[in-house]
Amino acid sequence: MHYVSTGQGPAVVLIHGLFGNLDNLKNLANALEPHYQVIRVDLPNHGQSQHWQQMDYPQLAQECVNLLSTLAIPEAHFVGHSMGGKVAMALALLHPVKVTSLVVADIAPVSYSPRHQKVFAGLTSLPLDSKTTRKTALEHLLAADIDVGTAQFLLKNLQRTDTGFEWKMNLAGLIENYPQIIGWDMPNTSFNKPCFFIRGGESEYVTAEHTDAIMQQFPKVSAKTINGTGHWLHAQKPEIFNRLVVEFIDKHSV
């Protein structure tokens, strides 16, 4: 798994969401680096990491365990956004000795109904030949009814080749494994260390109906809503998001 490690101190691992890469939480990394070793990862099928044809949360959690072993780190704080939050939660449930504390940004430990069909349709129908430019690619995604912010985020995955463009991410693999990505097939267990759930006030990803599932699996949870933000809360109000995360990790660092 590709990663970047900066800073020194207790370890904090930052995990991006679907279609993202290790740059997504760089702003948070900058806030943590003065006092922590911050490890930003590209999850498999994303960024510069390897492409997997099969991908589920137990496998991704094990990949995080392997990374800690590679870096000779016994345990770390984990911060995950969206799908990355599910990876971090799966790690906490399956390998609790590896997790000092857990921060989950705008996702719940539940199965979701499909919500990325338009995105997949727009991405798979985008021509990647020599006639394509970043401008025409953006126009194509906007025509596919994808909002401009999401479209610009998705196009960070395009990289130029001799004959046009290609996706850095394993788009076919993400489509194949999408049921596992939105699902939550985890054992009936709980993580009894500090957890912090942060949600966007205008997001539909974490709602009151998810409270019981969160409490059952993460009983030592505290929670905060950042008003005026949606699912991309860390990008929309980074100063508030970063401050909340740093304060929580400071409180629970040895």
Residues acting as catalytic residues: 82, 231
| CA 140/CA 214 separation, integer angstroms | 38
Residue 51: burial class (beta carbons within 10 Å; 0-12, 13-18, 19+): middle
Closest CA relative to residue 151, chosen from 134, 164, 173: 134
Is 19 within 8 Å of 230 (Cβ atoms)?
A: no
Q: Which residues contact 81 (CB under 8 A, 6 or more apart)?
A: 15, 16, 17, 20, 24, 25, 105, 106, 107, 234
Closest CA relative to residue 11, chosen from 43, 30, 35: 35
Residue 249, phi then psi, degrees to nearest 5: -70, -40
